[in-house]
Amino acid sequence: MQLNTDKMIAEVEDGIGWMTFNNPERRNALSLEMWEAIAMIVEEFQQDHSVRVVVMKGAGDKAFVAGADISQFDEKRSNAQQIEQYSATLSGARQRLADLDKPLIAMIRGYCLGGGLTVALNADIRIASEDAQLGVPAARLGIAYGYEAMKQLVDLVGPAFAKEIAFSARRLSAEEALRIGLVNRVVPAGKLEETARELATTIASNAPLSVKAAKFTIGETLKDPSSRDFGAISRMVKTCFDSRDYIEGRTAFMEKRKPNFLGS
């Protein structure tokens, strides 16, 4: 994989694809080059059959991602044309995250703000440390988020909390984020990576076709009824029942051993 920045790290270990935002001196603020690299990494993980689950994390102990790299604004977002190009890059990366058909976990330590939160919203599961702070500061910067990011927020926490988060632009503690459903779990900072790794390992050991079908079907439930692809759901269910992994799962259960799923 050829990345055009050293501020993104991609690693694969035991079925887990690790994507690290590596800009700790700026609290992992996202530069344009990092957004470009995100799209490349996610596509690589999508095509790599050895990767069964992806975990996103920030380098250091201060932040997951503290937002956009404002130092680039004068150079990369100084006029309408540059803003359009910048927005297209961001949109493409977010779409790659949204289209990933493998489970995506966000391991959130410290600041998860603005663009960092929009990245985390694309995760299927968000695990936060007790010192995490989450928020959307757009209203304090004179900017607005588009439909997709706001819809993801509403889908998670409902319109009332989404409005409070967006209108107030304040930072939520990890416990408050847990209470309203913005994160799945809160753990001590020293247990964060261990918890994320344990969950990712558990997912990676399960039948990939079953996990893929579950992710797709749950995603369809969030769409308008007229847009749901029931045919695709039925095909994925059938594929699972016709798979060698289905035979392996039954056999392993009867033999009281751990199954060895191959994803076929």
Give domain limits for the chain. Answer: 8-203, 207-254
The whole-number pLDDT of residue 74 equals 56
In this structure, which topology does domain 8-203 adopt according to CATH? 2-enoyl-CoA Hydratase; Chain A, domain 1 (3.90.226)
Average pLDDT of adjacent 10-residue blocks, the chain of 264 residues:
79 97 94 93 96 98 90 58 76 92 98 95 98 95 88 96 97 98 98 98 97 97 94 97 96 95 94
The whole-number pLDDT of residue 76 equals 57
Q: For the stretch 46-81, what's the b/e string if a residue is b when 16 or more beta carbons lie within 10 angstroms of its beta carbon? A: beeeebbbbbbbbbbebbbbbbbbeebeeebbeeee
pTM attached to this predicted model:
0.93
The whole-number pLDDT of residue 2 equals 56
The whole-number pLDDT of residue 84 equals 75
The whole-number pLDDT of residue 254 equals 96
The whole-number pLDDT of residue 3 equals 66
The whole-number pLDDT of residue 21 equals 97
